[in-house]
Structure 1
Amino acid sequence: MVSPLKNNSVLQAFVVLTLGLMPLTTPQAFLTPVLAQSDVAQTRAAITTENDRIFVHSLIKSSLLSLNQANQTQDYSVLRKLGSPGFQMRNTEQDLSRIFRSTREANLDFTAVTEYEPTFTSQPMLNAENNLLVTGYFPTQPQINFELAYQLINGTFRIDTLTIGIGAQ
Structure 2
Amino acid sequence: MSAIVRMAGVLALLVLASTASAQNRVPTERALEALVKANLLSFNDANVTGNYDVFHAKLSKPFRDQFPPDRLKSRFKEFHARHIDFDVIAALKPQYEPAPRVDDDGKLLVEGFFPTEPLRLHFDLKFIPSDGEWKLIAINVKIGSR
> Any residues of structure 2 matched to 1:37-48 within 5 Å, and which?
46=26
Alpha-carbon spacing, 1:167–1:134, altered in 2? closer, same or farther (3 Å): same
Give the one of 60, 63, 81 matched to 1:84.
Answer: 60
Normalized per residue, which structure has more helix?
A: 2
- Secondary structure of the residue aligned to 1:123 is coil
The AA in structure 1 aligned to 2:93 is: E
Normalising by structure 1, what TM-score?
A: 0.68
Give the one of 2, 5, 22 matched to 1:4.
Answer: 22
The reply on whether 1:143 has 2:123 as its aligned counterpart is: no
**Greater RCO, CA 8 A, separation 6+:** 1
Taking the aligned partners of 1:92 and 1:144, their CA distance within structure 2 comes to: 25
Give the one of 105, 110, 115 matched to 1:134.
Answer: 110
Q: Which has the larger radius of gyration?
A: 2
Give the one of 64, 72, 95 matched to 2:71.
Answer: 95
Q: What is the root-mean-square deviation in Å for CA atoms of aligned residues?
A: 2.0
- Is the contact between residue 72 and residue 104 of structure 1 (CA under 8 Å) also seen in structure 2? yes
- Secondary structure of the residue aligned to 1:137 is strand
Taking the aligned partners of 1:166 and 1:98, their CA distance within structure 2 comes to: 18
Would you say how many aligned residue pairs link Structure 1 and Structure 2?
A: 127
Taking the aligned partners of 2:138 and 2:81, their CA distance within structure 1 comes to: 22
- Secondary structure of the residue aligned to 1:152 is strand
Alpha-carbon distance, 1:129 to partner:
4.8
- Is the contact between residue 98 and residue 111 of structure 2 (CA under 8 Å) also seen in structure 1? yes
Give the one of 139, 143, 146 matched to 1:166.
Answer: 143
The percentage of counterpart residues that share the same residue type is 25
Task: Tell me the residue number matched to 2:94.
Answer: 118
Alpha-carbon distance, 1:75 to partner:
1.2
The AA in structure 2 aligned to 1:4 is: A
Gaps of at least 5 residues in structure 2 are: 1-16
Deviations along 1:20-43, one digit per CA (max 9) or x if unpaired, are xxxxxxxxxxxxxxxxxxxxxxxx
Q: Which runs of 4+ in 1 moved over 4 A?
A: none
Taking the aligned partners of 2:81 and 2:126, their CA distance within structure 1 comes to: 26
Gaps of at least 5 residues in structure 1 are: 6-43
